[in-house]
Copies of this chain bind each other. A is one copy, B any other.
Amino acid sequence: MGQLNQSQLYAVLVVLGIAILSLVYTFFLRSQILSQDKGTARMQEVWGFIKAGANAYLGRQFRTIVILIGVLTLVMAASVFVVPPTAEANEMFGANATTYVAIGRAIAFLMGSLFSYSVGFIGMNVAVEGNVRVAAASRKGYNPAMQIAYKSGSVTGMLCVGLGLLGGTLIFLVFGMAAPDALLGFGFGGSLIALFMRVGGGIYTKAADVGADLVGKVEAGIPEDDPRNAAVIADLVGDNVGDCAGMAADVFESFEVTLVSAMILGIVLGAASASPNVPGSALRFVVFALLLRGIGVIASIIGNQFVRTDERRRNAMAAMNKGYYIAAAIAVLGFIAITPFFMTDPTTGQVDWRPFLATLSGIILAIVLDKLTEYFTSTHYSPVKETSSASQTGAATNILSGLSLGMESSVWAIIVIGLSILASVLIFSGYSSNATIQFASVLYGVSLTGIGMLSLTGNTISMDSFGPISDNANGIGEMAGLDKNARNVMDDLDAVGNTTKAVTKGIAIGSAVIAAVALFGSFLTDTGKVQQQLGQTPLSGIDVASPLVFIGLLVGGAVPFLFSSLTIRAVSRAASQIVNEVRRQFKIPGLMEGKVLPDYARAVSISTSAAQKELVSLGVIAVMVPVLVGFLLGVEALGGFLAGIILSGQLMAVFQSNAGGAWDNAKKYIEEGNYGGKHSEPHKAAVVGDTVGDPLKDTAGPALNPMIKVINLVAVIIAPIVVTVRVPGQSIGIGVIVAMLLCLAALVWAIWQSKREGESVAVEPSSPVPSAKKA
């Protein structure tokens, strides 16, 4: 038992091969892009600023987090002395289990964080390399420009899935049944970095964007991307660090975490139903999950080949959708094909179609969430039209309309997610008479739903990265003064990029929640196992009617509100610093006449610092709150806490993202000539809504995705420590109390730190007083 059979071993090796293949494909794509023309000297000059800014940001980011990563790697290794290796690990590694597990946890954590960082770093670098080449190619035609933009995005996409698959497969091959331990470390590493990338990138991009707009477009009345605006490069860099690196690391994490929880739950399910006569039966659920991922990657690579258009049609959206649907069809057929070979019941020998159905429901979920996001944020449907119409009575009614539709959209999104969980419940109903196994089967179904919805991650990320790449290309075109034809091509690509970016957001949030629900299931399963080993009564559920658990639920629900509050404030604060800096530079003699170049690096540096400052505070909050709840209120309350965070995190993430998206498009709808068009009173009102929406949709909302996952992972990791230290009936040791006081102090410091900065930056009013309403 616990061994792979021959065909399973081959299958896993094939998956490993696919992972490597996708990495090779990544580098092939990259060299294809690098071989393209970089355009004129002026284009390369502008691009040089962007490149330097982007590298400066990621370099600084790396220095901030590398120490934390080092410390946490040691902590992960040392944790083996508090939580000893599992029975499976002991069985596998014998006397050396402690050493193996310590090293395994540390390496897995390091691998997760480096992979996540690489996805962001390399993906962003290629995006930056790509954007100038898109601008150059736009002079040749629509299809060449579009192809380069999409291929640059595909580097991020394929790197993301390649590394995610590589990590999971390697850990499984080395650790086998004992993999969960290391997998958690892998997931945690990835999530933590994703949190940093998302939060940092989100604050950076919106500080630069809001600051540049307020002082440039609104106050000085110069166009967007005007080279005299000192914040314009920071704004372009922001698109890369926020929309590209942040989103990629975030989705990489969901991709990882759903696989991690499918493997953890799959091992439990397999162990319960394995037959000693059927080799490999104990691991069939894990192998199946890996195969699903492998097929998804192959499908993405094939689908990518179909993304092309021609000079007559010039339809980038249709091209990308075609690639996506072809990939989806291939994936589904692949899933069907492998099921009879790798998912048979060891007792009856019958094919078990339930895991396939759960995966399929994930694909459906992805499509429904897409449509839902589109309905609430696209100019083609009534919600955005209503918000545009509300702009006629001023900014206040525009804002109210956006708030109202954002809230409503989160209701439908959560109901769709509820239905997809219900689908798993129904698919796996009557799976086992043992309650624990029945529970694990449903949660395994949920994690397969997550795998299903992320099976086309390669395409999704490619489409998402397409957004900032086209946006930057357009910016370079404006600043380098490209001709009208080329600008038209890029304008169109930019508009398509806005749509693809918006739609990906729905998937990112939905997958984060599904991943968190699956982790929540692993939390219970995992804690129960450790408690059994310790001879305690295993936790059989999370009774939210128990007052302590209910308190945990309340605290958990509050965390997303705290996160959103702090990130929104961070953006406002940094934006006002940018405003002051650009105003200062406007006064430099010769600058406004275009004779002197502004100091772009200063604005880049302000955005970078602002983003970095928050990282530590928010990281501390994400790690400390679950630790405190776990040790002070107990492991069951920690479960309630997780439920609260998932609930309010999902609601707030969708609310903020969709409200922001709707305001953005309500403005665009007016700019298309409705209700008076550009420069009318309704347009000014809509600009206010758009500015309010910016940090909501690109900072606070998206930051909640990795936050939900990080906190869930921290909880799963510390739960064994909590049950070891807080033995029922025994009083808590002095060491724990001291440790908790330190944690509490760290938490208070983090919140205070984040809030204090808010008060230190005073706004220096110019004359006349700037106002978002003077656009």
- Nearest B residue to A764 by beta-carbon distance? B392
A540–B542 alpha-carbon span in the complex (Å): 12
- Please choose the segment from A6-14, A62-70, A133-141, A644-652 that sits at the chain B interface, where 4 or more of its residues have CB less than 8 A away: A644-652
Cβ of A557 < 8 Å from any Cβ of B?
yes
- Complex Cα distance A390/B684, Å? 18
11 contacts across the A-B interface (CB closer than 8 A)? A386-B759, A392-B763, A392-B765, A394-B691, A395-B688, A397-B572, A418-B555, A544-B544, A558-B651, A676-B769, A680-B769
A677 CB, min distance to chain B CBs, angstroms = 12
A422-B551, A521-B545, A544-B544 given; A565·B408 CB < 8 A = yes
Do A773 and B414 have beta carbons less than 8 Å apart?
no
The residue that A400 contacts in the complex, of B553, B644, B687, B692, with Cβ under 8 A, is B692
A256-283: CB near B (< 8 Å → 1, else 0) gives 0000000000000000000000000000
- A643 to B647: give the CA distance in the assembly, Å: 11
Provide the bound-state CA to CA distance between A421 and B403, in Å.
Answer: 32
Does A564 make an interface contact (CB < 8 A)? yes
Which residue of chain B lies nearest to A401 when distances are taken between CB atoms in the complex? B572
Chain B residues near A408 (CB-CB < 8 A): 561-562, 565-566
* Residues of B with C-beta under 8 A to A446: 547
Closest residue of chain B to A775, judged by CB? B394
A473 sits at the interface (CB 8 A) = no
Q: Which residues A394-434 have CB closer than 8 A to chain B?
A: 394-397, 399-401, 403-405, 407-408, 410-411, 414-415, 417-418, 421-422, 424-425
B395 touches A565 (CB 8 A): no
A576 touches B395 (CB 8 A): no
Q: With an 8 A cutoff between CB atoms, is A332 at the interface?
A: no
A569 within 8 A of B: yes
Closest 3 CB pairs of A and B: A541-B543, A394-B772, A396-B691
Count how many chain A residues have C-beta atoms less than 8 Å from C-beta atoms of the other chain: 103
| Chain A interface main SS type | helix
* Residues of chain B lying within 8 A (CB to CB) of residue A389: 762-763
CB neighbours (8 Å) of A405 from chain B are 565
- Residues 658-692 (chain A) with a chain B CB within 8 angstroms: 675-676, 680-682, 684-685, 687-689, 691-692
When each residue 376-390 of chain A gets 1 if its CB lies under 8 Å from chain B and 0 otherwise, what string results? 000000100010011
Binding site for B on A (CB under 8 A): 210, 214, 218, 382, 386, 389-390, 392-397, 399-401, 403-405, 407-408, 410-411, 414-415, 417-418, 421-422, 424-425, 439, 442-443, 446, 517, 520-521, 524, 540-551, 553-555, 557-559, 561-562, 564-566, 568-569, 571-572, 575-576, 579, 639-640, 643-644, 647-648, 650-651, 655, 675-676, 680-682, 684-685, 687-689, 691-692, 695-696, 758-759, 762-763, 765, 768-773
Q: Is the CB of B759 within 8 A of A547?
A: no
The answer to whether B639 and A545 have CB atoms under 8 Å apart is yes
Could you tell me if A655 and B561 are in contact, using CB atoms closer than 8 angstroms? yes
Q: Please name 18 further chain A to chain B contacts, defined as beta carbons within 8 Å, in addition to the given A218-B394, A404-B572, A408-B566, sorted by A numbering.
A: A393-B772, A395-B771, A404-B564, A407-B564, A411-B558, A411-B559, A411-B561, A421-B547, A425-B547, A425-B551, A520-B550, A541-B544, A544-B553, A554-B647, A647-B648, A675-B765, A681-B768, A681-B771
A400, A551, A555, A640 interface centre (most CB from chain B within 10 Å): A400
CB distance from A635 to the nearest CB of B (A): 12
A354 to B396, CA, bound (A): 50
Decide: B393 and A579 in contact? CB cutoff 8 A: yes
Find chain B residues with CB under 8 A from A687 CB: 396
Q: Are A773 and B418 in contact (CB under 8 A)?
A: no
